[in-house]
Amino acid sequence: MVLVLVMQTDAPFWDSLGFEGIDDVDAEAVTAAFGTVEVVARGWVAEAECPDCGRISDRVHDRYQRRLKDLPLAEQGFVIRLTVRRFICGSAGCPRRTFAEPFSRLAAPHARFTTRLNHALERVRLALAGQAAPGWPPRWAPAREE
């Protein structure tokens, strides 16, 4: 599924925005202010699987918010404010009492950037490494594994 967000303001530079390959979040609201576009999003699935015991739970313990930076859009900063639900495992033999919705395609656990921004930053890093001055790396440097 591709999420399509339609701006209701007079910002002409975008009318839709796709999170390709991310099928577990819904966008609830989009605001644009102070050079930053903010998307309020949350997961829509009713249940999640405990990472320790694999039991499926639909008992929500609580919710918290994660702020994720995404790729800039038309020179605007782009932030996703993601509401994450914490589920109760409830399995007697499981050491884990609660666990958070994974959102594995959007961002790694505890990440501050979305996965695609991470990939973009990695490409920038590689590009900069490729433009290093002649004679770099120095001969005494250990060979890097690619």
Q: Which of 30, 50, 100, 106 binds Zn ion (CB under 5 A)?
A: 50
What are the backbone angles phi and psi of residue 49, rounded to the nearest 5°? -100, 130
Per-residue tokens: 131 = 């433009």
Q: Is 62 in the site for Zn ion (CB under 5 A)?
A: no
Q: Which residue has the tokens 């639909």?
A: 58
Binding mask 87-106 for Zn ion (x = CB under 5 A): --x-x--x-x----------
Please count the helices (runs of H) and the strands (runs of E) in the chain.
1, 7
In total, the chain counts a number of residues equal to 146
Side-chain half-sphere CA neighbours of 114 within 13 A: 21
Task: Compose the 1-40 pattern: x for residues touching Zn ion by CB under 5 A, - for all others.
Answer: ----------------------------------------
| Only segment of 11-19, 50-58, 76-84, 115-123 that touches Zn ion (CB under 5 A) | 50-58
Q: If you ran DSSP here, which 8-state letter would residue 97 be given?
A: S
The identity of residue 134, as a single letter, is: P
Q: Would you say 37 or 48 has its CB closer to Zn ion?
A: 48
Residue placing its CB nearer to Zn ion in the complex, 40 or 94: 94
Question: Which residues of this chain interact with Zn ion, rule CB under 5 A?
Answer: 50, 52-53, 89, 91, 94, 96
